[in-house]
């Protein structure tokens, strides 16, 4: 019963947040096709509310020019405004995972590294109304991952 109440509360909070951000949406970014990479099919789900379209969620799998598989997820619109970054210090750890706050392509970003699962990057681009996450396994180094994220961001311009 307690779980049911929590789920209902989350739905009410999310619906209120989406409705509060309702407005006419400008042109939106999309996950790009990168000529030098193998690009999977783009999967898109729209965020619909009583007040209208609130944006979308888009996913695409990539294999880079160096053979690294990546999964990119783009959230766009007034709905996806929740972006929890680590505390104010620029680095830290949680268990074996470590994170750092940096800037990629001019956007504040969080880079997380787990020795087993690999890297993930969350890019906070709220001035352009989107959040981008990029995930990959442990077979890539940090510099290569940041280069790949920059390529994706440049392709979205």
| Residues 71-94: tens digit of each pLDDT | 999 988 765 454 555 544 444 555
Number of neighbours of residue 121 by Cβ within 10 angstroms: 24
**Arithmetic mean of pLDDT, 106-131:** 85
Distances (CA, A) of 104 to 10, 109, 124: 32, 6, 10
Q: How many domains does the chain divide into? A: 1
pLDDT exceeds 60 at position 15: no
**Arithmetic mean of pLDDT, 140-154:** 91
Q: Residues for the chain: how many in total?
A: 157
Domain residues for 119? 2-155
Which range, 2-11, 15-24, 66-75, is most confident?
66-75
Q: How far apart are CA 57 and CA 8, in angstroms?
A: 22
pTM of this structure: 0.70
pLDDT band at 70; cut points 50, 70, 90: very high
Instruction: Evaluate whether 94 touches 84 at the Cβ level (below 8 Å).
Output: no
Rounded mean pLDDT of the chain? 75
Q: Which region among 30-44, 49-63, 90-104, 106-120 has the lowest average model confidence (pLDDT)?
A: 90-104
Instruction: Evaluate whether 86 touches 92 at the Cβ level (below 8 Å).
Output: yes
Q: Tell me which residue of 75, 74, 77 sits closest to 25, measured CA to CA.
A: 77
Q: Which region among 34-38, 57-61, 95-99, 112-116 has the lowest average model confidence (pLDDT)?
A: 95-99
pLDDT exceeds 50 at position 59: yes
Helices assigned H by DSSP within 21-74: none
- Please tell me the number of Cα atoms within 13 Å of 147 on its side-chain side: 9
* Proportion of the chain above pLDDT 70, given as a percent: 69
pLDDT band at 60; cut points 50, 70, 90: very high
Strand 38-39, strand 118-125: pairing: unpaired
**Arithmetic mean of pLDDT, 104-108:** 89
**Arithmetic mean of pLDDT, 49-77:** 87
């Amino acid at each position: 019963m307690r779980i049911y109440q929590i789920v209902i509360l989350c739905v009410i909070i999310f619906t209120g947040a989406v409705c509060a951000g309702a407005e006419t949406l400008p042109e939106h970014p999309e996950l790009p096709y990168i000529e030098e990479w193998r690009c999977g099919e783009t999967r898109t789900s729209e965020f619909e509310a009583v007040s209208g379209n609130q944006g979308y969620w888009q996913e695409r799998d990539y294999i880079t020019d160096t053979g690294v598989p990546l999964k990119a997820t783009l959230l766009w619109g007034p709905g996806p405004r929740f972006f929890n970054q680590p505390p104010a210090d620029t680095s830290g750890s949680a268990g074996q995972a470590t994170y750092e706050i940096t800037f990629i392509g001019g956007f504040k970003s969080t880079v997380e590294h787990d020795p087993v699962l690999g890297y993930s990057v969350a890019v906070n681009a709220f001035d352009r109304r989107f959040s981008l996450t990029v995930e990959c396994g442990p077979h890539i180094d940090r510099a290569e991952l940041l280069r790949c994220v920059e390529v994706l961001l440049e392709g979205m311009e």
